[in-house]
Chains A and B, each alone.
Chain A
Amino acid sequence: MTAASREAPPVAVFAGLSALALIAFALSLAIGPSGFGWPHAGEAGRLIFWEIRLPRAVLGALVGASLGVAGAALQGYLRNPLAEPTLLGVSGGAALGAVLAIHLGLTQTLSLALPIGGLLGAAAALLAVAALAGLRGGPLTLILAGLAVSATATALISLALNLSRNPFASIEMVFWMMGSLSDRSLIQVWLGAPLMLAGMAVLLLVGRALDALTLGEDAALSLGIDAHRTRRNIIVGVALSVGAATAITGVIGFVGLLVPHALRPAIGHRPGLLLPASLVGGAALVLLADIALRLLEPWADVRIGVLTALFGAPFFFWLVLKTRSELAP
């Protein structure tokens, strides 16, 4: 075998993605209604930088990275390119927790009621999924348990909206669920960041197992992979990273589906390498989407979850056309 037929290590892909994410992060710090550039003049400038732009940029990077790596991990584990982080039911649980916090009026007395409600909801969903699916067993039980928990959360969210007597609370719930990075304080970042970072670290550990699972479960076992540990790491990692991300920012869809999909060919379809690539790519995508929203803001106040859905949906059209052309005789 010649050196030419061997793939170059995907250093270029990682360098490009990292550069993109860094540029997006810097732009995110520089763009806002108070003008372009890093505000530093005076007390107001300092406040804008530390209290508004920095939390927003850090949160965008962390949430995007969480969604990207969690999507790549679930797609690799389930060996299904259509898997996405919401599949585990944890984001549904987080949304339910936050909606309940609004419904019960806790947001008016406690400033951190929303993220804390979200985290408790995510934790409850994790426990429910783990109890239902068990820490042993195959991917199918995990999907079913996630669906069951998601469906329950959706039903209860609808019930809360249905029973809400206060139209302002209903609007708050609906808007919260559309996802947003704005108006998050550094305290909220401190609340979510350790959980998201821990979740991502756990997910990065499963790369070898995901590579081995490419050959099916028997072959993966015979390559020395611990199936139970892999499953546990996937469940816990996704729950921590996506649960915390959703609790702080609301539901931001499609990132966890799109990013691994788009990057897969670039790293030679290797599920282990796709984890770090999607982590960086997810951060870049959410930061860029958030920058686009800020540029749009003078004309329309669009939520980030709405924007990702608007751009994510056509992806399915593209996928249908691609699959059709591949299946065509």
Chain B
Amino acid sequence: MKLEASKLRVELQRRDVLKGVELSAEPGEVTAVLGANGAGKTTLLRALAGLIAATAGEVRLDGRALGAWSRAHLARNLAYLPQERTVHWALTARNVVALGRLPHQTMGQRETATDRAAIERAIAAMDIAPLAGRPVLAMSGGEQARVLLARALAQEPRVLIADEPAAGLDPAHQLALFHHLAAFAASGRTVLVALHDLSLAARFCHKIVLLIAGRVLAAGPPAAVLTPAHLASAYSIRAEYRTIDGIPAVLALDVLP
């Protein structure tokens, strides 16, 4: 399913956070939203997930305006992983992952075999089987991040929107997570992430949307977007785009005066 925004404007508490954003995230691709703190990444993701209303412009999923989707129907097709790792009660990892099946169940329904299979696939994908019986509140930040992403995967969405899914993960789990997101996209799903790690973005994302103060500075393939000039404008940094053993990486060298 294709997810698009056109002329998207969002005003939050009388402040223009998004000032006319154009974006399209294609099935089969990982699209990254980049930008400095406060550039509007989270607001863009929330608007694309239908959690906040557009002040002007439109978000379309599969060619239909997001407002035309019922909440229940939307939830069976689109999963949203917030940046905050919130789990309010001492649920086990398994029970948290199982929450991803809520949109597929009717009230009072017990887990079906389909539900269980989806839950176990998500648990295996995020490599959290040994944690499944443990309460999430007692886990490290990185473990929580994997459990919560597994929850979103268990939802089996056609579109996955994840806000900073790799924050707080060690390098091995960051790489494993992005390999998995890439594979998830390769199976025909649309993946949209907000990121701060420029190298992960350069390596794993097909398309990058670089935001600056609520506007799109540049959008396109990583090599075209992550140029020193763009990075200087967006982050005020001196940075270089390099290729090491055929793998792209972006080095942030200095803060510009």
Contacts and interface: CB of A to CB of B under 8 A. Distances in A.
A9 B110 CA distance: 10
A238 B87 CA distance: 25
B86 interface: yes
Contacts of A79: 88-89
B71 interface: yes
B148 interface: yes
A61 B162 CA distance: 47
Nearest to B130: A5
Interface in B72-115: 72, 74-76, 78-82, 84, 86-92, 94-96, 99-100, 102-103, 105, 107-108, 110
Interface in B158-215: none
A162 B45 CA distance: 58
A246 B99 CA distance: 35
B120 interface: yes
B129 A214 contact: no
Given A215-B86, A216-B82, A222 B75 contact: yes
B31 interface: no
B95 A268 contact: yes
B82 A218 contact: yes
Contacts of B96: 214-215
A211 interface: yes
Interface string A182-210: 00000000000000000000000101100
A208 B120 CA distance: 21
B82 A211 contact: no
B49 interface: yes
A202 B74 CA distance: 25
B139 interface: no
A222 B80 contact: yes
Interface in A275-323: none
Interface stretch (A22-30, A171-179, A223-231): A223-231
A207 B108 CA distance: 8
B132 interface: yes
A271 B81 CA distance: 21
A319 to B, nearest CB: 15
Contacts of A2: 129
A55 to B, nearest CB: 32
B151 interface: yes
A268 B94 CA distance: 11
A251 B224 CA distance: 69
Main secondary structure on B side of the interface with A: mixed
| Most chain A beta-carbon neighbours within 10 Å: one of B79, B103, B105, B148 | B103
Contact of B89 (A221, A222, A264): A264
Contact of A222 (B51, B87, B119, B133): B51
A324 interface: no
A269 B75 contact: no
Interface in A52-91: 79
Main secondary structure on A side of the interface with B: loop
A265 B90 CA distance: 8
Contacts of B19: none
B35 to A, nearest CB: 20
Contacts of A264: 89
Nearest to B155: A223
Nearest to A78: B88
Contact of A270 (B81, B95, B124, B155): B95
Interface string A241-271: 0000000000000000000000011001111
Contacts of A43: none
A226 B120 contact: no
A271 B75 contact: no
Given A214-B99, A224-B75, A268 B86 contact: no
Given A218-B46, A226-B71, A269 B89 contact: yes
A41 interface: no
B107 A5 contact: no
A1 interface: yes
A270 B102 contact: no
B87 A215 contact: yes
A265 B89 CA distance: 10
B120 to A, nearest CB: 5
A1 B84 contact: no
A7 B124 contact: no
A268 B148 CA distance: 18
Interface in A5-57: 5-7, 9
Rank and list the top 5 A-B pairs by shortest CB-CB distance, nearest first: A224-B75, A216-B86, A222-B80, A269-B89, A79-B88
Given A1-B132, A264-B89, 11 more contacts: A5-B133, A207-B107, A212-B99, A214-B87, A214-B99, A216-B82, A218-B46, A219-B81, A222-B79, A268-B95, A270-B91
